[in-house]
Chains A and B, each alone.
Chain A
Amino acid sequence: MKRVYVNEKWCLGCHLCEYHCAFAGTNGKDMARSLKDIKINPKIKIEEKDGVSFAVSCRHCHEPLCVKGCITGALSVSGGVITIDHNRCVSCYTCILSCPYGAISPSDDGAVQKCELCVKTSKGTPACVEGCPNGAIVFEERG
């Protein structure tokens, strides 16, 4: 299955992936207009310190502790992609407690949010990958 992989060597720390992620969630047509005056809450997040930076998003683990621990069944695996059913999430944050990557966060609609590889938003390639100007985020099959 194709997953998102990052290489910190190429990451510029520009945060464009975060903007593309947030934009993908709006279903808008123009990024600047869609994100104007809002504080973005992306599912991919840059960590940076002392000149090192890299993006972190859901790894879609083979043994997903978030899915196994989910108290409602809101998190599930479908074709290898871990998705969240916002209607069934009660925001207990057991998944935030469980994720070893820190890749699940509260959303703006009262549920939690996580990278779903853009399966619910667009076509083919995740927006963060498309939008990375330096090839630091790729969408590949690595087994």
Chain B
Amino acid sequence: MKYVIIGNSAAGIGTVEGIRQVDKDGEITVISNEPHHTYSRPLISYLLLGKVTEEKMKYRSDDFYEKNKARFIHAAANEIDAKTKQVVLDNGERVNFDKLLVATGSSAFVPPFEGLALVKDKFTFMSLDDAHKLNDALAPNKKVLIIGAGLIGLKCAEGILKRVAHITVIDLAPRILSSILDDEGAKVVQSHIESKGIEFKLSGGVKTFEANAAILDNGQKIDFDILVLAVGVRPNTALLKDIAYIDRGIAVNGKSETSAPYIYAAGDCTQTYDVSSGQNKIMALLPNAYMQGECAGLNMAGGEKNFNKAIPMNAIGFFGLHVVTAGNYSGDTYFKADGNNYKRLFYSDNKLNGYILIGNVEKAGIYTSLIRERTPLDSIDFALVCEKPGLMAFTKEDRMAKLS
């Protein structure tokens, strides 16, 4: 059996490990347009911060490919020939597959801002190479403007704050981290980040760029030396255009199969069923990417696996303040806040839908599990679990089952 995997991050690595749980001998080829050993993408901000080295960014050990008998090819996959079951590389080589996994990830979305071409030092922040380029531009006297107060923009800000003169972050949304926080929670995190010296301009768009300045919609001018574009990401779906069904992302079922035979997909390039909202969504998150990849690998190799409990979830921290969130934010809420500690739970129809925890995130996984398993809230002591997440909230019988 010939397995070919396009992509060398969490989803691709999960696929290798999934295949090898079932098939120890099949031929595995991993194709990546990046020359690097598999690395943890979210660590690029820690690299700039100096908290990790490139060596420590490795997502798996040095002998990963050897140990898993996987061939690594550094090349871009230009085309998938579904008829001949081949992947065509940018060097002209054609790689045969019996089963193919597409884990092409996502790319930074750069809106067509007027005047953007005039800006010399502009960067996106998605890959190790992006981090290297930004790193080379950093200097203590430089002012940085980051467009986008989402996870990528703010982790970038944290990573480079000590290495530049000043950082301004602007966003169209009225709050930071708008995809994972509510208004009040965002204020808690924003104040904390501001206290470290980062400046925010929210509810503000860029009208036009000059070589070293952005003119905002309200006419305000922000000077900068370095521009970081972190507006959002788009799934890389082009390889499967006209081959498999693509909605916003590549559509896959619980077995990670696309609509095309023998072709699977996993990770940020796909859209998946979110059990917390009942909707198909792009959930560009590392844990989901790994698990979806592993699921694909198991199925590709003839095993049986269903990845059907995906939910949006994020664990992230800024300057020591932790933020853990999951699920969807609809329904009634339980709310408690005290200084930098903030908790909001969302529930309806006897189910926990989502939560936001800031500061104290102890035992957050108890809540995640209630969402993922769609646990009926009347089967537990919900008042207790709101106050204090723990196994105590379950019935004695359930506790016994979990702990014995």
Contact = CB atoms under 8 A, between A and B. Distances in A.
Interface of A: 5-8, 47-49, 52, 54, 56, 59, 65, 68-69, 71-73, 87-88, 90-102, 104-105, 142
Given A8-B399, A90-B43, A93-B317, A98 B56 contact: no
A69 B369 CA distance: 14
27 contacts: A6-B404, A7-B404, A8-B403, A56-B390, A69-B290, A71-B42, A73-B60, A90-B43, A92-B315, A92-B317, A93-B361, A93-B364, A94-B286, A96-B315, A97-B313, A97-B315, A97-B361, A97-B368, A98-B368, A99-B365, A100-B369, A101-B391, A102-B363, A102-B364, A102-B389, A104-B365, A105-B362
Contacts of B368: 97-98, 100
A75 to B, nearest CB: 11
A92 B317 CA distance: 6
Contacts of A88: 56
Contacts of B59: 72-73
B396 interface: yes
Nearest to B42: A71
A68 B40 contact: no
Contacts of B61: 73
A5 B294 CA distance: 29
B366 interface: yes
B58 interface: yes
A138 to B, nearest CB: 10
A87 B404 CA distance: 32
A73 to B, nearest CB: 5
Contacts, number: 113
Contacts of A56: 390-391, 403
B384 A49 contact: yes
A71 B40 contact: yes
A96 B56 contact: no
A39 to B, nearest CB: 15
Nearest to A6: B403
A71 B317 contact: no
A68 B391 CA distance: 22
B205 interface: no
B56 A102 contact: no
B303 to A, nearest CB: 13
Nearest to A90: B46
B117 interface: no
Interface residues of B, number: 46
Nearest to B58: A73
Contacts of B14: 68
A47 B280 CA distance: 37
A47 B396 CA distance: 13
A47 B365 contact: no
A57 to B, nearest CB: 9
Interface string B50-67: 011000111111000000
Given A8-B403, A65-B287, A100-B365, 8 more contacts: A8-B400, A56-B403, A59-B403, A69-B290, A73-B60, A92-B42, A100-B366, A101-B391
B240 interface: no
Interface string B353-380: 0000000011111101100000000000
B364 A97 contact: yes
A87 B55 CA distance: 11
A76 to B, nearest CB: 9
A94 B315 contact: yes
A102 B384 CA distance: 15
A96 B324 contact: yes
A48 B384 CA distance: 12
B275 to A, nearest CB: 14
A3 to B, nearest CB: 10
B24 interface: no
A52 B324 CA distance: 29
B400 to A, nearest CB: 8
B83 interface: no
Interface string B1-42: 000000000100010000000000000000000000000101
Contacts of B362: 96, 102, 105
Interface string B319-341: 00010101000000000000000
A62 to B, nearest CB: 12
Contacts of A92: 42, 315-317
A47 B392 contact: yes
Given A87-B56, A90-B52, A96 B316 contact: no
Contacts of A104: 365
Nearest to B389: A102
B364 A96 contact: yes
B134 interface: no
Most buried by A among B60, B291, B364, B400: B364
Contact of B365 (A49, A52, A91, A96): A96
Contacts of A6: 403-404
B324 A71 contact: no
